[in-house]
Structure 1
């Protein structure tokens, strides 16, 4: 298929942006070509609405053709499919895409992640050497994954409080099967953000780490 060069359009402002933003509220897009109207199908509609919405926000938009048909390794996954493949939660997967750790594409307002990019991230995690069998409190490189007990011991808090922090998204968590794993660097970053203080906010009776491994 012939590849056409990208085109770039500056964002709209003022009255033009306001009128277009109001019109997009219905999400019913009809185009007119040589006096003939055509209501766009869902896939094309989402792409056009996304493009026009960006223009109303004053964003400059570039439109380009896809480089080539997707191969098996280039298969696009939904957030849930990518998270399941990686063995992590949807929330953590979204954090990784937002941070640029795993590249993301958009189809309208929906995130899509290449299977190959998830597999590459998994390979990098495996190379970091997760601490599956290490004893609680054992030393680990900054990129190594810790069990719940190891992370709690490093942070000086209880397992329960540590799990609460991961559930709230305060400390990122990954999953290996049903087991939580936390990067040593993320625990250290949380400690640094608290000024290295003790667990002043932990509920009474939960100041010491337990021995749970998952």
Structure 2
């Protein structure tokens, strides 16, 4: 696969605590949505580095996930995934994913006999699926309320 990806397994409790504290300090700066200059200290040297606003936002997302004890995987938008990788990201079987590809629900291309799915196409499908699921759940809750089945609108 020709992509640069990084995967960080779930953090240790100590790393989660560090991420939580770092995220709290960084949060106020991240809300400004501007580049941020940090000073990095290593041994006796201190060096400023500038982070673009998008990197600061991404760093906040990473710290939030780590503070919650979750692992993180970073994959570029233009990456192409195998069917196994894409199925794992959607938390579905490879067979189910291949059906989505073969019916045209998710675009893909073939490299020889192998299917490749663009990350952005996979995320677009996931966003549509999440919206559709939310719509169905809202409708079910509305019907349950109308039939006085004990569900209350929050």
TM normalised by structure 1 equals: 0.31
RCO greater where, 1 or 2, for CA within 8 Å and sep 6 or more? 2
TM normalised by structure 2 equals: 0.40
